Structure 1
């Protein structure tokens, strides 16, 4: 089959200005809850895009851990590629691809590091195996084999067999403070509905409809 022949119509729903909440955070909460109610496998999965010092973008999928009026929160190894790129350029883009209901949300903003107390609180709430994995993985760095990774994991499991597993000093989190948030709803004949919330200097939001 030719890739150019793979297509479908988007006709599940439409999006009109009067349907939107005044706050993009309230609109996001509504759409996220609907994605959760639709029983998606990973409704909080988002593509995180960063840029290196040469202007080369990179992307990866991360799980959203909190969303409120302050922004969008995720956690990661601070030695990872994304963390290193954010250190030299904290501009960031998040993308939520909810294909099943023909929706997308795209967040443009800046990533602000979370305080250690906040990171520790979340880290201690994770399953023990996830805590051990954080210690075992030198994220984004080369590893000789999966077996070597599993051996390191086993070593950490033995090391922290008793008591609480401490927060690694190379593990942190970010709150993405948005400047713009786009809500995309698929439409017939590729006439999709797109609305962009744009933050103003007084922290109010202006909503613009975009061409598909």
Structure 2
């Protein structure tokens, strides 16, 4: 496990997030306490796994873990308090939703939210700590499912492909089709398009009134 110090506790919780970078949808977090008597093979950073493998592992994690929970912060919250703070809130919600209170929490990244128990931030923890790997898989599968549902409602945006990240195709789709309620309006590409839309609407109204 590299040189990361693993706390000597029996109820260790791993936490990770998915969705800090996308322009649309919630930031989703997961908290997982694994059962040492039910090992799960193949746990690693969710980004290194195929979609099919992630889905299979997600089912196994839900089946074998002592407990797991998801947390989230919605676009309106992200716009209000910023993505970093919203991510911390979503992590707090995931830990609070666990059926068993952990003795220690290990979090992927370089900072920890305020929690009721000790916590350690681990850079690249999703590839080093099995509990964080499990959390990264659950969060990724959950958020991808939400993007698939959004794709069904608005196929012209291509959410199933880019998952809300600011790809060239996604930015072109926003330019063509406008901004949905699910977008994060504080994110620069969305904000610029919203401002342009507002300006053109204002100009059009001015022309009509004249």
Instruction: Using structure 2 for the length normalisation, give the TM-score.
Output: 0.21
Name whichever structure is richer in strand by fraction. Answer: 1
Instruction: Using structure 1 for the length normalisation, give the TM-score.
Output: 0.21
